[in-house]
Every structure is written in C-alpha cells, then in structure tokens.
Chain A
Amino acid sequence: MNEIKPTTLTLTDIRKTYPAGIEALRGVSLEVRPGEVFGLVGPNGAGKTTLLKIASGLLFPASGTVVCGDTEITRRPKQAAAFIGLMPDPLGVYTDISAREYLEFFARLQEVPVERIAAVVDYAVDLLGLRPWLNDEVETLSAGWQRRLALGRVLLSDTPILLLDEPAAGLDVSARSELLDLVRTLAHSGRTLIVSSHILPELQQLADRFAIINQGRWVTMASGRPFFTRDELQQGFTAAHWQLRCNRPADAVQALAGQGFSATVEGDCLTFTAADETMAAGGLTAVVTSGVTVYDFHRQQVELTELVLQVLQNDNLQSASPPAPRSRP
C-alpha cells in the first residue's frame, strides 16, 4: 500500500431535508483531525447515516459544505471517493461472486493499476484474515465475514478517511470484538476514521473523541460543548464520582459531611463527588481519621452508554415537542 497522507475532514453547517419533508440534519458542523478516530453516537434516525452519506457525496445537503484537506467535495461523489471510503449500513454486497472476485472488482473500480491489483487484494485479505474463504461465494459467508469483506473494499484504495457506519451491526459478541480489533488496527494506520455505532462500550475503547447526535443536531454536554474526549469520559467531565467501601458507612458519611462532601450510601459502599484528586484525597483522609476501616477506594468511571442515555434523556426533555417518528424516504 502507498503511504497514507493524514487529512482533515470538515463539515460546516450541514442541513438536509428528505423529499418527504423529514429534517434529517439541522446545521451540523464537525472537524475531524488527521489520524483521529471519531465516534458518532445517537439513536436510530438521529441523522448519523445521513451525515456520513453527505460526507461521502452520496447525499446532497440542502446547505453547508464538506471539505477534505483543502478540497471541497460537497455534492461531488467522484472527488469525494479520492479522499473517503465509506462502509455503509446496510452493506450491500454482491452475493453471486467469490470473495476474491468481489475484491478484484472493487480494486478495478478504484482504478488500482492492473499490475498492483493482486498485491492490493492480498494486503486486504491478509489484514482481514479472509484467505480461507477467498474462493467461496459471498452469499455463503457469514454476516461477520461479509462485513470484513465490505471493510476490505474500503481498504483497497489509499483513501485517507474511512467512514464506518455501524461496522459491527448484527454481529455476535465474538465477531463484533474481532471486527472492532480490525478497526483498531486501521486507526493506527494513519487514517482518519469516523465510526458510528450503537455498541457503545466498544466505541468507548476505540474513539479518541465522541459526539452525540439527536434529531439532526449535536447534543451538547454539561460543559456546553458538543464533543468530548475519551479522557474526559474516564474522568467524569467536570467532577468525578468516588466510591468507597468501608466497615462503618454511616460514620464515613458523617466524616465526609464534615469536609463539605455529600455522600450516598448503598450497602457498605458510599459514593461522593469531588472535582479533582486532591479534594478526593482530603475526603478519604477525613474518613480514615474518624477511625473507619476503608477496604476499597476508587474513581467511578462513567460508561458511555450511561452518559448517552442521560444526555439524550435531557435533550428530549428540553425539546419543545416530542421527537417525530423518523423514517427513510
């Protein structure tokens, strides 16, 4: 494979209304940095697929621009294809040809020189572990292998940006894990990746930054920003929750209250909030000094799933009207 030149993808104020009158995107802007893995999260019909299809030139926005590096590619699928490889959902694979023919066909379509086709196909096959199934008809492959094959298609060219729409959808736990390992490998190849997914725990491990989309617009965090990083997620944003397990929870709560902390108790565990590690350490010292024996003390991580549910719930409550049923035209 040729060396991949890291490229920025910038979407500015993208709006899209489907012919049926459904407003799919309402002024979405996004800048994905070179080599970054960006997680796109949102419920069904939120506008994730529409956004990815607009970025790859398959759908035309009512307004707004899509720029790759310095090149504007809005409404120009052919130019977009030079920068962006899209793995759509649903996949849409030709089922009546072999896996090798499938890859060879797309290598030709990607205008890979004839003398390089075999090498490029071999690269994708080895990366994806497709060799044992290379001569099997695509129809006979399992959903997981078909997804790998579709991923192989976007790897045949040297496009610096990959858009993966629900890459692990419909797969069992093991196949999902294997596929996401592959995506992780791609993330280290210098490519810029946007991954939309419903499988949030995996996305949490994969992406550098996340954004939540709902009803065609970004949902902002408590900080007022639409995007957040994995570190922020792990640190619980503005304040972290700390969990403490001890022999006398009631005394521990009293000790914490003396330091200005409010704690909740569940069994022998209590949870309190501290803005940073120094403050948390102060709380722990107060508990220990009061003679309580502490068995365990750690920062409680916020799970992406939990966060998304919470944020979406707030967003829906804030909306003037309940979300309209959304469907593709």
Chain B
Amino acid sequence: MMNPLYWLELRVRAREKRLWLIALFFVIVMAIISGIMLATSMQSSGNRFIEPLNIGEGMIWTALFCQAGLLVILAPLATAGRISQEREQRTLAALVNSPASATRIALGKLWGAWTFVLWLGVLVLPFLFTATLWGGPSWKLILGCLGLNLLAGLVLSALSLGISGLFGRSLTAYLVTGCFLFGWIAVLPMLGSLAMALNHDGSVAPHYQEFVMYLTMYHNPFYPLISLTEAVTETGGKFILPMVYGVTVWILLGWGGLMLAIRSLKREVY
C-alpha cells in the first residue's frame, strides 16, 4: 500500500495555491533567463553568422544551472517545516499513535517533498527540449545533469526534514535550515576561496589547494554539476573524482538528515 503520509502530501500539496505559484515563478524565471541568454547570444554575434549550437548549449546550461539554483532554495523551503509543523499543530500525537513506524512516517514526508522537486524537474523539460532543437550537448549529459539536480533536491529535502525534526516551531526550523544551507552553500566556498587566495604565493604544501577544495567546495550542491559539465567540455578525467566525492558527501548528508528525522519522530510527544 502507498505510504499514507505520501498519499496525504500528494492530496494536500496538489491543492495548494502556493505550489502552483512556485511553479509559475519557476517557469517565469526560467523563461526570462533563457530569453536573456538567447538575446545576448544573438546580439554578441553581431553581423556574423549565428551559430545555433552555441545558442542551444547556452540555453541548456542556463536551464540546468537555473534549475539547480532554484531547487537549492525551493526544496528546503518545501520541506523545512514538515515535522516541526506537526509538533506545532499538535498532530504528531495522532501520527505516532498508529502502527506506522518512525521510518515510514519520515520516508512518507521525504517522498512528498521530493515529489515537489520532481515536479520542478519536469517543468524544466520543455526548456531543455526546445534548446536541444538548436543543438548542444548530448541527451545523456543533459539527463546526467538533471539527475544530479534531482539528487541534490532529495539531499536538501532530507537535510531540511532532519533539521525540522529537531524543533517544535516551524519558524525556528526554517531559520536554522536557512542558516545551515547558507553556511554550506555560500560561507564555506567563500572561506575556501579566502584560504586559497591568502596562500596563493605557493609557499604552502602542494596539495594544500586541493585539500581546501575538498574541504569547502567539492561537496557544494552546485559543484558536481559544474564537474560534470567540465568533465565533458574540458579534458575530462580530473573532474570525475571531485564529482564522485561531492555526490558521496551529499548522500551521507542526506542519509544523516533522514536518520535525524527518524530519531526525532521517536522522541517523546509532549
């Protein structure tokens, strides 16, 4: 039988105006950015012959990175209050007083949130399809990038769900999730860049820069996507390891988030 929490999420979320507004916002942002990209490409070509391949590539990367950027914001936004809200509304007692295990409840909520991510993933398909008519990267690469984005969405959803389980108030859960993601996505790479810039004279150990990159950047939600595109467009090989490392850290973080959520559902319900 379908997970009941997932069933509820599908029923409820499908009716939420917010969902459709977010989707509309997503499509409008994608359309605007793609339009600007197209206009810029055409303008920069001047009187020369317009190369359709460049336009196709530009649109595809714009769509994929734009999708990644929006998912980083929207996936946690859709998940961050899922458990804390149950505590806040006092509905958690009814959930726990049932034969459903904490794992089942947490997974139902996670799949519910990830379905939203998938929905946003589907919305980008028309853009990608239109762009490929101009030419550009192979479908395999596009699907790989899309898969990475969806995985990033799942990881961010799991992390947000875990943080949500720690708090009894949704607002606190949202704020802490925001702080965590800001630290991970923005502050860590900035610190990494700073550390590398301060030691740019080559006086440090040879692997220092690589170490800083592993510590602060390779696991960034955008980095595996960058690695994948660079692995294809540049010389390849050297980008694979950071990408695998990044995805592994993601999976561990996502797993940790899910475990945190399950653990929080096993706590006492006041």
List the A residue with the shortest CB-CB distance to B96: A77
The 7 A-B pairs of least Cβ separation, nearest first, read: A92-B90, A108-B4, A58-B269, A92-B91, A109-B4, A109-B98, A88-B93
The answer to whether A329 and B93 touch (CB under 8 A), given A97-B11, A108-B4, A110-B99, is no
Question: For A80, A94, A96, A109, which residue has the most chain B Cβ atoms within 10 angstroms?
Answer: A109
Alpha-carbon separation in the docked complex, A78 to B103 (Å): 12
Does the CB pair B8–A58 fall under 8 Å?
no
B91 contacts across to A, CB distance below 8 A: 92-94
Q: Does B205 contact A (CB under 8 A)?
A: no
Q: Cβ of A111: which chain B residues have Cβ within 8 Å of it? A: 1, 99-100
Q: Mark B210-224, 1 if CB is under 8 A from A, else 0.
A: 000000000000000
Cα distance A239–B97 in the bound complex, in angstroms: 44
The answer to whether B100 and A105 touch across the interface, beta carbons within 8 angstroms, is no
Residues of chain B within 8 A (CB-CB) of A105 are: 4, 7-8, 11
Contact between B268 and A101, CB atoms less than 8 A apart:
no
Judge whether A56 is part of the interface by a CB distance below 8 angstroms: yes
Q: Mark contacts of A218-240 with chain B using CB atoms, 8 A cut-off: 1 yes-contact digit, 0 otherwise.
A: 00000000000000000000000
A to B CB contacts below 8 Å, 10 in the list: A57-B96, A58-B268, A59-B270, A77-B97, A78-B99, A84-B97, A88-B90, A90-B90, A96-B16, A111-B100
Residue of B nearest to A50 (CB): B270
CA distance A110 to B15 in the complex (A): 24
Contact of A78 among B1, B94, B101, B269 (CB under 8 A): B101
In the complex, which residues 1-35 of chain B have their Cβ closer than 8 Å to any Cβ of chain A?
A: 1-2, 4-5, 7-8, 11-12, 15-16
Interface-centre pick from B4, B7, B92, B94 (highest chain A CB count, 10 A): B94
Residues of B close to A114: CB separation below 8 A: 1
Task: Specify which of B12, B89, B95, B269 lies most central, judged by the most chain A CB atoms within 10 Å of its CB.
Answer: B269
State whether the Cβ of A245 lies closer than 8 Å to any Cβ in chain B: no
A175: Cβ under 8 A from any B Cβ: no
With A58-B268, A108-B1, A108-B4 as known contacts, state yes or no: A81 contacts B99, CB within 8 Å.
yes
A106 at the interface (CB under 8 A from B): yes
Closest approach, in angstroms, between the C-beta of A265 and any C-beta of chain B?
A: 53
Find B94's partner among A97, A101, A153, A329 (CB 8 Å cutoff).
A153
Q: What is the chain A residue whose CB lies nearest that of B11?
A: A101
Q: How many residues of B contact A (CB 8 A)?
A: 26
From A86, A96, A106, A108, contact of B93 by CB (8 A): A86
For A60, the chain B residues whose CB sits under 8 A away are: 268
A273 CB to nearest B CB, Å: 46
* Majority secondary structure of chain A interface residues (helix, strand, loop or mixed): loop
Bound CA–CA A114/B254 (angstroms): 32
**B-to-A contact residues, CB < 8 Å:** 1-2, 4-5, 7-8, 11-12, 15-16, 89-101, 268-270
Contact status of A88 and B7, CB under 8 A, knowing A81-B99, A82-B99: no
| Of B7, B95, B270, the contact of A328 (CB 8 Å cutoff) | B270
Residue A85 at the chain B interface, CB threshold 8 Å: yes
Asked if A91 is at the interface of the complex by the 8 Å CB criterion, the answer is yes
Interface residues of A in 50-97 (CB under 8 A from B): 53, 56-60, 77-78, 80-82, 84-86, 88, 90-94, 96-97
Complex contacts, B268 vs chain A, CB 8 Å? 58-60
By the criterion CB–CB under 8 Å, are B4 and A59 in contact?
A: no
Interface residues in A248-303 by Cβ distance below 8 A to B read none
| Shortest beta-carbon distance from B13 to chain A in Å | 10
**CB neighbours of B12 from chain A (8 A):** 94, 96-97
A101 to B1, CA, bound (A): 16
CB distance from A18 to the nearest CB of B (A): 8
**How far apart are the CA atoms of A110 and B1 in the complex, in Å?**
12
A90, B270: Cα distance in complex, Å: 11
Give bound CA distance, A143 to B97, whole Å. Answer: 22
Which of B1, B7, B97 has the largest number of chain A CB atoms within 10 A?
Answer: B97
Taking a contact as CB atoms under 8 Å apart, the answer to whether A92 and B94 are in contact is yes
Flag if A80 contacts B97 (CB, 8 Å).
yes
- Note all chain A residues with C-beta closer than 8 A to B98: 81, 106, 109-110
B38 → chain A closest CB, angstroms: 40
A58 B99 Cβ-Cβ under 8 A:
no
Residues on B with C-beta less than 8 A from A96 are 12, 15-16
Q: Tell me the minimal C-beta distance from A160 to chain B in angstroms.
A: 14
Q: Across the interface, which residues of A come within 8 angstroms of B269, CB to CB?
A: 53, 58-59
Which residues of B have CB within 8 Å of A328?
Answer: 270
**How far is B5's CA from A56's CA once the two chains are assembled, in angstroms?**
21
Given pairs A78-B99, A105-B4, 18 additional interface contacts (CB within 8 A):
A57-B96, A58-B96, A59-B269, A59-B270, A77-B97, A81-B99, A88-B93, A88-B94, A92-B91, A92-B94, A94-B8, A96-B12, A106-B94, A108-B1, A108-B2, A108-B7, A110-B99, A111-B100
Complex alpha-carbon distance, A60 and B270, angstroms: 10
Chain A nearest CB from B95 CB (Å) reads: 7
- Contact residues in A for B96 (Cβ distance below 8 Å): 57-58, 77, 81
